[in-house]
Amino acid sequence: MRIGVPKEIKNHEYRVGLTPASVRELVAHGHEVLVETRAGAGIGCENAHYEAAGATVVDSAEEVFSRAQMVVKVKEPQPAECKMLHEGQILFTYLHLAPDPIQTRLLVESGVTAIAYETVTGPRGGLPLLAPMSEVAGRMSIQAGAHCLEKAHGGLGMLLGGVPGVAPAHVTVIGGGVVGANAVRMAVGMGAHVCVLDRDVDRLRLLDAEYGSRITTLYSTREAIEQQAVAADLVIGAVLVPGASAPKLLSAEQVSAMKPGAVLVDVAIDQGGCFATSHPTTHDDPTYVVDSVIHYCVANMPGAVPRTSTFALNNATLPYTLALASKGFPRAVADDAGLLAGLNVHRGRITYRAVADDLGYDWAEPLELLGL
Ligand SMILES: NC(=O)C1=CN([C@@H]2O[C@H](COP(=O)(O)OP(=O)(O)OC[C@H]3O[C@@H](n4cnc5c(N)ncnc54)[C@H](O)[C@@H]3O)[C@@H](O)[C@H]2O)C=CC1
Ligand SMILES: CC(=O)C(=O)O
Ligand SMILES: [Mg+2]
pLDDT (0 to 100) of residue 63 = 98
92, 301, 315, 317: which to mutate for ligand 2, most atoms within 8 A of CB? 301
pLDDT (0 to 100) of residue 162 = 98
Domain annotation covers residue 35: yes
Q: Which of 299, 331, 355 is the endpoint of a domain?
A: 299
Residue 48's domain is classified under what CATH number?
3.40.50.720
pLDDT (0 to 100) of residue 144 = 98
C-alpha–C-alpha distance, residues 122 and 120, integer Å: 7
Starting at the earlier edge strand, list the strands of the sheet with 2-5: 56-58, 32-36, 2-5, 70-72, 90-93, 113-116, 343-346, 349-350
6, amino acid identity: P
Same domain, 213 and 232: yes
pLDDT (0 to 100) of residue 213 = 96
40 close to 49: Cβ distance less than 8 angstroms: yes
Binding residues for NAD(+): 134, 198, 203, 220, 239-240, 267-270, 298-301
pLDDT (0 to 100) of residue 79 = 97
Domain annotation covers residue 366: yes
Q: Is 270 labeled as catalytic in the residue annotation?
A: yes
Same domain, 135 and 250: yes
pLDDT (0 to 100) of residue 307 = 97
pLDDT (0 to 100) of residue 85 = 98
Domain with 343 in it:
2-119+305-370
Taking CA atoms only, the protein residue closest to ligand 2 atom 6 is: 300
Same domain, 138 and 254: yes
C-alpha–C-alpha distance, residues 103 and 359, integer Å: 11
Of 31, 96, 295, 346, which residue is the catalytic one?
96
Per-block average pLDDT, block size 10, for the chain (372 residues)? 98 96 98 98 98 98 98 98 97 98 98 98 96 98 98 97 98 98 98 98 98 98 98 98 96 98 98 98 97 98 97 98 98 98 98 98 97 93
Binding residues for substrate: 15, 75
Query: In the chain, how many domains are there?
Result: 2
pLDDT (0 to 100) of residue 188 = 98
Closest ligand 2 atom, residue 133 Cα: 5
